Every structure is written in C-alpha cells, then in structure tokens.
C-alpha cells in the first residue's frame, strides 16, 4: 500500500475537507494534515521465509496542523486518533489492521506561526 492510498482512504472515510498531503505539509494552511512514512519497523524474519508471512507492516505518521486554539486542535487530534484506533478496513481488497504504538496523539506544541501541531503514530498490518 502507498501513502496516497492511506491518505485517500482517510479523506473519504473521515470526510476531511481541509488541506491534505503526503510527504510534506502545507505550512501556509492553518488546518492541514500530512501522511509520512519515516518511522521504520525493525526487521523480523519469518520462519520459512517471506512466503510464509501473512502481513506486511507499514508505519505511518500523521502530522496535524490545526488552528491557534489549543482545545480545538487537541479535540481534532483525538478524533483522528479514535478514527484509526483498532480499526480494520480494506484498500484494494486487502484487509488492513491498525495498531497504535502510543496511547494518545503526541502534542508537538506550536510552530513558528503559533499553529498547534500533533503527531499520530500508526502501524498498519497489511494482509498479503
């Protein structure tokens, strides 16, 4: 699965109407979200080789920039977190299971324009 596929799924199912991107966030928007894939999982071999593995793992970070109001930013980060929490869904007929490595969104404070930012970490287990 690609970042674009995950972004498109989120945009449609969450009904996100503000700026959305992959790889680089639009810092000119006060409400924006971006999907990254920078966090790597350690390699864990499978007995019998790759052919016996039933899932692939894709770790994705969602960066949320959301207003200069702490409360509304925190609420939106929590809504996105809860949207993905323990979620099972399909993309291109492949089932995907979601694991959250952290108990809540990560508060990153404000950027240089005083817009609040949150990070939401996700591990997607993709059916092979």
Find the CATH number of the domain harbouring 44. Answer: 3.30.2000.20
pLDDT in tens, the chain (128 residues): 899 999 999 999 999 999 999 999 999 999 999 999 876 666 566 656 566 555 678 899 999 999 999 999 999 999 999 999 999 999 999 999 999 999 999 999 999 999 999 999 999 988 87
Q: Which token pair is 10?
A: 């989120």
pLDDT attached to residue 90? 94
Q: CA nearest 83: which of 2, 4, 15?
A: 15
pLDDT attached to residue 70? 97
pLDDT attached to residue 1? 87
Domain range for 118 is 3-127
Count of structural domains, the chain: 1
Angle at 25 between CA 38 and CA 91, to 5 degrees: 65
Q: What is the value of pTM for the model shown?
A: 0.88
With beta carbons less than 8 A apart as the criterion, state whether 65 and 29 touch: yes
């Amino acid at each position: 699965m690609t970042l674009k596929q995950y972004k498109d799924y989120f945009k449609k199912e969450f009904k996100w109407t503000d700026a959305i991107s992959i790889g680089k966030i639009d810092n000119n928007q006060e409400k924006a979200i971006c999907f990254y894939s920078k966090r790597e999982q350690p390699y864990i071999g499978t007995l019998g080789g790759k052919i016996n593995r039933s899932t692939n793992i894709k770790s994705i970070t969602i960066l949320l920039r959301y207003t200069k109001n702490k409360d509304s930013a925190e609420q939106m980060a929590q809504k996105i977190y809860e949207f993905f929490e323990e979620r099972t869904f399909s993309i291109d007929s492949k089932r995907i299971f979601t694991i959250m490595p952290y108990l809540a969104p990560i508060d990153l404070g404000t950027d240089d324009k005083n817009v609040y930012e949150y990070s939401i970490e996700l591990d997607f287990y993709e059916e092979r």
